[in-house]
Amino acid sequence: MSDAMKARSMGLFARGFVMGAADIVPGVSGGTVALMTGIYDRLIRAIVAVDRDCLALLVNGRLSAVWHRIDGMFLLPLSLGILTAIFATASTIHWLLENYPQPLWAFFSGLILASGALLLRDEVLLNRIDRVLWFGLGVTVAVVIAFMPPLSLLSGLPGLFIAGAIAICAMIMPGISGSFMLVLMGMYAPVLSAVRHLEILDLMVFAAGCITGLATFSRVLDTLLRSHRMLAMAFLCGVLMGSLVAVWPWRRSLDAVASDDTAALTRPIMPLEVAVPQLELCLATFAVGLLFVWGVQSLAARRFG
């Protein structure tokens, strides 16, 4: 493997690592990281490539053709980065969420704001009314989702299947957290319980929902990005910027969904309403988030493009 290929693989692994770490945190999406690091389009295309023809090639033993079709040189290091992050950083991020939630959310706020600014600079030109409207729609969708009460309409195996399909769609949508969507649907506790107790049937049904949702929704996104790219990017950028509401550092938990088995639904409040707002530390981590995005963007452009 040449030095250039190794550099690209390391860059993809690093991006996957950040995506995996983001997916662990309620309120933050791995799709946000994919979008801000410039690999979102390629990721969607690679997912879409896993279709009936790809399965036929696999059944016939044409592994080289399958590898080329799904962009294996892209998906492998990215997937390894995601899995490494999930297993290596889950306990650390959950510890930070429990002990230093405000500085951590301030860091994510910096990430999202800088990412949105870069997208508006490089990808989205809001110089037409239709683009402005789609950007506004994206902001509205993200804000509405952030303030939605838990629905608790799903249950049983059908509920797990539907929850998996919706959650995986949220995970590849910038600005929308899959785990947060599970909370809104009242399915966070059942899924978490299935994982903790290795309830194989429940996990298989949930995974089937994820596969179904990913297979269908990724194709919708791919079509939109190909035929209406600027409008689609305006909408995604709007979702990204609107998600700042969901990661506002100073929040109050709502008892409606707070328990030992669920992630508490919260509402943003002003810093003065918090006993220990940690303003200085939050400003510092916010600045680190801003600088991190600019650093990743510069590094990606110079070495891992």
The string of pLDDT tens digits covering residues 233-281 is: 888 888 878 878 877 888 777 654 444 444 456 778 888 787 778 889 9
Q: Are 292 and 111 in contact (CB under 8 A)?
A: yes
Pinpoint the alpha helices (H) of 151-228.
156-172, 178-184, 188-196, 200-227
Residues of the chain whose pLDDT is less than 50? 256-263, 303-305
- Whole-angstrom Cα distance, residue 208 to residue 191? 13
Alpha-carbon dihedral of residues 92, 94, 99, 104, nearest 10 degrees?
80
Per-residue pLDDT at 3: 67
Give the pLDDT score at 129: 94
How far apart, in whole angstroms, are the C-alpha atoms of residue 193 and residue 90? Answer: 17
108 Cβ contact partners less than 8 Å away, ≥ 6 residues apart: 25, 27, 28, 247, 289
Q: How far apart are CA 57 and CA 74, in angstroms?
A: 19
pLDDT tens-digit profile of 149-187?
666 556 778 888 988 888 888 777 766 667 667 766 767
pLDDT for 303 = 45
pLDDT, mean over the chain:
79
Torsion sign, CA atoms 268, 274, 278, 279: positive
Per-residue confidence (pLDDT) for residue 187, from 0 to 100: 76
